């Protein structure tokens, strides 16, 4: 028996065509002419979130399931309506439960189902974006289930028992506590295998699910890595790699002296790391992610001072059609929030570009995004710093804690200043994309490194796996000369 998919029926998405030799058909069936018979059978797929979601993200009844399912499904609100602005999420605010009352739907099933649906959607999107990936439906139903099985195994491997986290944190004791955010506290712990982790104990099931779903498929050196998660009754926790050097906010505003923050070169390298993390979310992640809460306290620094974007509780999947996607409410942090997004409520990647611009201004000037002026009045960094940069006066607002820039750093800092100003343009369309930002910062950084340590420059470019871009980037930075043409940059 051969199985072909998709079928050549009119609704080919939902049917699998099976070609059967007539010799194997029982005699009591009326036999058609020819050596084989073609049968189209409906494929049973679990309903996906997108099928149950309307354009505005609200839950509505399912479109007819793709094919006949053994269970009938209904959509019910997962959580009560949000109270606060930042907590008010209108999307994915539901779970899919079987209407058959004999089937239990505990919280574990809820998370499992939601992740399963999300990952199914991820597979679909990946298939549409990547030429190498063949969608299971286009291949065979078996490969669909084998991919789903792999995903379930990943979910199971990453799911930690509560007992293990309680043991590692001494019952979430104060001694282990290292921080507190809007949705819960963070604890430092060492797991049995010796791995150091930060455990974020989430107070909100919804924030937990949003962050878990966003992080599950992300994998980039400038995005915090999710080690695992725990969901047990009312206990929700996310387990991250522990970042030894804390947050960028601490280094800019809390710590007295820090090696990283006392050099312009180091600051530019951190800026490049952050930009690359956000670019990954916007351009390479599938589905695309809009972080919506980029700020210095959401940037972590690991033991090698590599910066990583974290805290995805406000993140959103980028809509297919930005123009028609209006949010009921906006979320973010004052001082970093894009004013256009605040007024138009449109979800676009330029929201993160604006916030990143504020982070750049903070790194250049050392002022907080929202701070008090000499008269004790609240002032936005954008209102204060941008006019200086616009008038070529950046030297008047550079962070005095950093030694004066060297000649090459001076050019670099001026360039980063102009980039920051472009990022915080009032209109999103006037702001650069994250890829343009990365390319600019890369050029700036290459120019600095070129004067510092050519060996390290080559290593860094290779590390970033930009080999194929390296020549172009280097050529752009040096005005035409490519890496291979430059004998100083040939590897020994
Ligand atoms: N992986 C980690 N490694 C080291 N420290 C961490 C890690 N994750 C979080 N922290 C610490 O815990 C603090 C709280 O983090 P959390 O994400 O809960 O809140 P936040 O981002 O500071 O605030 P908000 O929720 O308002 O955005 C951080 O500021 C940081 O100091």
Q: What is the CATH number of domain 246-464?
A: 1.10.510.10
**Cα–Cα distance, 40 to 17 (Å, whole number):** 4
**Cα–Cα distance, 273 to 72 (Å, whole number):** 47
Q: For 323-370, write each residue's pLDDT tens digit.
A: 555 666 677 788 999 999 888 888 899 999 999 999 999 999 999 999
Q: For 274-297, write each residue's pLDDT tens digit.
A: 999 999 999 998 888 999 999 999
Closest residue CA from atom 30 of ligand 1: 179
| Mean pLDDT, the chain, whole residue set | 71
**Residues contributing to the annotated binding site:** 200
For residue 204 and ligand 1, the question of a CB distance below 6 A is answered with no
Query: Residue 3: beta bridge partners?
Result: 18
Q: Where are the domains of the chain?
A: 139-241, 246-464
What per-residue confidence (pLDDT) applies to 426?
A: 96
Choose the residue to mutate in 177, 186, 190, 334 for probing ligand 1, maximizing ligand atoms within 8 Å of C-beta.
186
- Long-range contacts for 98-106 (Cβ within 8 Å, ≥24 apart)? 98/71, 98/72, 98/73, 99/71, 99/72, 99/73, 99/74, 100/71, 100/72, 103/71
Percent of the chain with pLDDT over 70: 57
Highest mean pLDDT among 87-91, 398-402, 481-485: 398-402
For residue 353 and ligand 1, the question of a CB distance below 6 A is answered with no
Closest residue CA from atom 12 of ligand 1: 179
Output the CA 183–ligand 1 centroid distance in Å: 10
Among 72-81, 273-282, 426-435, 463-472, whose mean pLDDT is lowest? Answer: 72-81
Q: What DSSP character marks residue 301?
A: E
Query: Residue 190: beta bridge partners?
Result: 196
What per-residue confidence (pLDDT) applies to 313?
A: 77
Residue in 222, 8, 219, 10 with CA at minimum distance from that of residue 126: 219
Among 248-252, 303-307, 377-381, 488-492, whose mean pLDDT is lowest? Answer: 488-492
Residue in 166, 173, 221, 168 with CA at minimum distance from that of residue 193: 168
What per-residue confidence (pLDDT) applies to 433?
A: 97
Residue in 336, 346, 415, 426 with CA at minimum distance from that of residue 381: 336
Higher pLDDT, 384 or 117: 384
Higher pLDDT, 273 or 28: 273
For residue 178 and ligand 1, the question of a CB distance below 6 A is answered with yes
What per-residue confidence (pLDDT) applies to 29?
A: 37
Mean pLDDT score, 6-23: 39
Length, in residues, of the chain:
492
Phi, psi of 374 (to 5 degrees): -60, -30
Reduce the DSSP state of residue 467 to 3 states and report it.
helix
Closest residue CA from atom 21 of ligand 1: 298
Residue 141's pLDDT band, with cuts at 50, 70 and 90, is: low
Highest mean pLDDT among 49-53, 194-198, 360-364: 360-364
What per-residue confidence (pLDDT) applies to 76?
A: 24
For residue 186 and ligand 1, the question of a CB distance below 6 A is answered with yes
Mean pLDDT score, 152-174: 85
What per-residue confidence (pLDDT) applies to 53?
A: 35
Residue 27's pLDDT band, with cuts at 50, 70 and 90, is: very low
Mean pLDDT score, 97-113: 39
Higher pLDDT, 45 or 339: 339
Could you tell me the pTM of the whole model? 0.67
Residue 443's pLDDT band, with cuts at 50, 70 and 90, is: very high
Output the CA 45–ligand 1 centroid distance in Å: 39
Mean pLDDT score, 191-205: 89
**Cα–Cα distance, 74 to 63 (Å, whole number):** 11
Residue 399's pLDDT band, with cuts at 50, 70 and 90, is: very high
Q: How much is the ipTM here?
A: 0.95
Fold of 139-241: Phosphorylase Kinase; domain 1 (3.30.200)
């Amino acid at each position: 028996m051969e199985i072909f998919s998709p079928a050549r029926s009119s609704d080919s998405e939902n049917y699998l065509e099976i070609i059967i030799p007539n010799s194997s058909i029982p005699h009591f069936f009326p036999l058609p002419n020819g050596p084989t018979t073609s049968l189209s059978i409906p494929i049973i797929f679990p309903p996906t979130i997108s099928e149950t979601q309307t354009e505005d993200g609200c839950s509505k009844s399912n479109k007819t399931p793709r094919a006949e399912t053994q269970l009938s499904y209904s959509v019910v609100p997962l959580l009560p309506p949000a109270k606060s602005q930042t907590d008010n999420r209108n999307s994915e605010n539901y779970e899919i439960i079987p209407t058959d009352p004999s089937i239990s739907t505990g919280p574990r099933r809820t998370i499992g189902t939601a992740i399963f649906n999300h990952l199914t959607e991820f597979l679909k999107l990946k298939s549409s974006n990547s030429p190498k990936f063949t969608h299971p439906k286009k291949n065979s139903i078996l490969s669909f289930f084998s991919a789903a099985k792999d995903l379930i195994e990943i979910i199971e491997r990453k799911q930690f028992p509560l007992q293990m986290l309680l043991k590692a944190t001494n019952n979430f004791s104060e001694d282990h506590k290292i921080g507190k955010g809007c949705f819960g506290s963070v604890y430092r712990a060492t797991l049995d295998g010796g791995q150091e982790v930060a455990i974020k104990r989430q107070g909100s099931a919804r924030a937990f699910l949003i962050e878990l779903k966003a992080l599950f498929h992300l994998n980039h050196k400038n995005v915090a890595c999710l080690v695992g998660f725990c969901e047990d009754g009312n206990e929700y926790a996310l387990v991250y790699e522990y970042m030894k050097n804390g947050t960028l906010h601490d280094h800019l505003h809390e710590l007295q002296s820090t090696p990283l923050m006392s050099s312009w070169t180091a600051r530019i390298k951190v800026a490049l790391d952050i930009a690359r993390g956000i670019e990954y979310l916007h351009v390479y992640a599938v589905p695309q992610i809009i972080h919506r809460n980029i700020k210095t306290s959401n940037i972590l620094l690991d033991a090698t001072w590599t910066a990583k974007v974290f805290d995805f509780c406000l993140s959103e999947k980028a809509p297919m059609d930005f123009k028609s996607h209006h949010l009921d409410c906006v979320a973010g942090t004052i001082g970093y929030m894009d004013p256009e997004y605040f007024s138009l409520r449109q979800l676009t990647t330029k929201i993160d570009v604006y916030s990143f611009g504020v982070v750049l201004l903070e790194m250049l000037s050392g002022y907080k995004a929202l701070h008090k002026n000499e008269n004790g009045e609240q002032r936005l960094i954008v209102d204060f710093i941008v006019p200086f940069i616009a008038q070529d006066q950046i030297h008047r607002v550079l962070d005095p804690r950093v030694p004066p820039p060297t000649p090459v750093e001076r050019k670099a800092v001026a360039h980063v200043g102009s980039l920051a100003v472009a990022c915080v343009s009032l209109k999103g369309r006037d702001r650069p994309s994250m890829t343009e930002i990365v390319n600019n910062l890369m050029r700036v950084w290459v120019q600095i490194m070129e004067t510092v340590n050519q060996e390290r420059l080559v290593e860094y470019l290779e590390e970033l796996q930009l080999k194929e871009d390296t020549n172009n980037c280097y050529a752009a930075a040096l005005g035409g000369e490519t890496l291979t043409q430059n004998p100083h940059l040939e590897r020994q």
